[in-house]
Amino acid sequence: MEQYEPDRLSPARVAAMRRSFTSGRAALTRRSLLRASAGGALAVGGLGTLSACGIPAAGKTEGGVSSEDRSKEEKEVSFSNWTEYMDVDDSGNRHPTLDAFTERTGIKVKYTEDINDNNEFFGKIQPQLAAGQETGRDIIVVTDWLAARLIRLGWVQKLDPSNLPHAYANLSPQFRSPDWDPGRAYSYPWQGISTVIAYNKKALDGVEVRTVSDLLDKPELKGRVGFLTEMRDSIGMVLLDMGKDPGDFSDDDYDAAIDRLQKGVDRGQIRRFTGNDYTADISKGDFAACLAWAGDVVQLKADNPDVDFLIPDSGYITSSDNMLVPNKARHKTNAERLMDYYYEPGPAARLAAYINYVCPVEGVKDELAKIDEDAANNPLIIPDQAMQAQSRAFRSLSAKEETAYEEKFAKLTGA
């Protein structure tokens, strides 16, 4: 277990946090751009037949600190999530899948949208966790790099596989074994986030774009290309384009990727680095092409027939927001039952139809087609096997690496 010491953040890392909170992935309101396509009443069936292929057993790593589990006596669970990251009914006041879970199990869900930014949320829960106290939450949802930190610190509990049969069986292969949680001993994905290339067909005017190198090198695109302010996404996509593995790269590889982007900046090829405000640029044609998050592209394509996306042959970066049970949680078993519930095809389909992010649940396509056939056939929501095979994750970073890498990236972007 890693001992926690308060971070002494460099100016570059502080700038990176501000970027993430004001314009980066953390600024996504989850539903601000995406349509609510699921409607009507929700009917959720019973337990389905489990898939024959399970998830490998978790490794024997040190678990977090448990508390007396009051799940039997207290039929409740406290769930902290990001804003607009859950299905709602037409009134906007109720969450159909959560209501169906309560009706089936008798477990009441205290659902709170109190996560707006990973670093801000870490600041909320750090004092209690560091002091060995409960946070008042049974499930939290955080992005993969923060999940990795919480696991390293020993501040989250190892999950009980017996309470997670659907999750073990139905987790999509591309999310099964991240380097920060091999075998998913402590976490399960809530949703996936894919980084792709978006383009405006009218703005391209016949210029062929297939790769990140095309964005950086084609003179016809000078001043009309965008990259992301999220370091892992932009650098990860460049590493892939260079034939490097974002899950296993060296300092020299990172520096080469920085140099590659710096040349694009110096030549004026890159118009600017953006958060999800690229949506306006690509829709208007100010960007001919840019790196983009798949959740945005779903709605952009629906609203503007000139906008489309592509997956480079070199692959694409996928990250995830993940459910974890913090130390001293009062209702661990109830939390695990709720986590497992969202790996049943029915609830998973309802959630995917509403939020349009990458569904981490294998075998949900048929259920989703009953609700929204377009969503079921959209590879940005339900990646096929070929697309899953192209998915790559950015490896975990040490605190020293993160500081050094963010400093270099901040210099590049002018942050």
Rounded to whole angstroms, the Cα distance separating 328 from 199 reads 47
Rounded to whole angstroms, the Cα distance separating 414 from 100 reads 48
Rounded to whole angstroms, the Cα distance separating 37 from 245 reads 36
User: What amino acid is encoded at 57 in this protein?
Assistant: A
Per CATH, the number for 193-318+398-413 is 3.40.190.10
| Predicted pLDDT of residue 415 | 65
- For 56-60, 87-91, 221-225, 339-343, which range has the lowest pLDDT when averaged over its residues? 56-60
| Predicted pLDDT of residue 65 | 65
pLDDT tens digits, 179-217: 999 999 999 999 999 999 999 999 999 999 999 999 999
Average pLDDT of the segment spanning 75-98: 92
| Predicted pLDDT of residue 117 | 82
Rounded to whole angstroms, the Cα distance separating 135 from 129 reads 7
Between the alpha carbon of residue 414 and those of residues 13, 59, 224, 235, 305, the distances in Å are 13, 42, 18, 15, 33
As its CATH architecture, domain 76-186+325-343 has 3-Layer(aba) Sandwich (3.40)
Rounded to whole angstroms, the Cα distance separating 270 from 58 reads 43
| Predicted pLDDT of residue 119 | 82
> Residue 123 above 90 pLDDT?
yes
Q: Is the dihedral of CA 206, 384, 24, 284 positive or negative?
A: positive
Using 50, 70 and 90 to split pLDDT, how confident is the model at 258? very high
Say which DSSP state 9 is in.
Answer: -
- For 29-33, 109-113, 148-152, 161-165, which range has the lowest pLDDT when averaged over its residues? 29-33
Q: Nearest Cα to 178, choosing from 189, 162, 194?
A: 189
> Residue 95 above 60 pLDDT?
yes
Average pLDDT of the segment spanning 373-383: 93
Query: Two tokens at 327?
Result: 């130390």
| Predicted pLDDT of residue 90 | 85
Question: Under a CB-based contact definition with an 8 Å cutoff, are residues 171 and 55 in contact?
Answer: yes
The label of the residue with tokens 């389909």 reads: 349
Q: Nearest Cα to 107, choosing from 376, 338, 363, 276?
A: 338
Look up the pTM and report it.
0.79
Using 50, 70 and 90 to split pLDDT, how confident is the model at 302? confident
Query: Two tokens at 374?
Result: 């377009």
Mean pLDDT over each residue of the chain, to the nearest integer: 86
**E strands in 29-96:** 76-82
| Predicted pLDDT of residue 291 | 97
**E strands in 19-156:** 76-82, 108-115, 139-143
Residues of the chain with CATH 3.40.190.10: 76-186+325-343, 193-318+398-413
Say which DSSP state 26 is in.
Answer: G
Find which of 10-19, 52-61, 384-393 is predicted with most confidence, using mean pLDDT: 384-393
Q: Nearest Cα to 328, choosing from 139, 134, 80?
A: 134
pLDDT tens digits, 128-165: 999 999 999 999 999 999 999 999 999 999 999 999 99
Rounded to whole angstroms, the Cα distance separating 247 from 334 reads 34
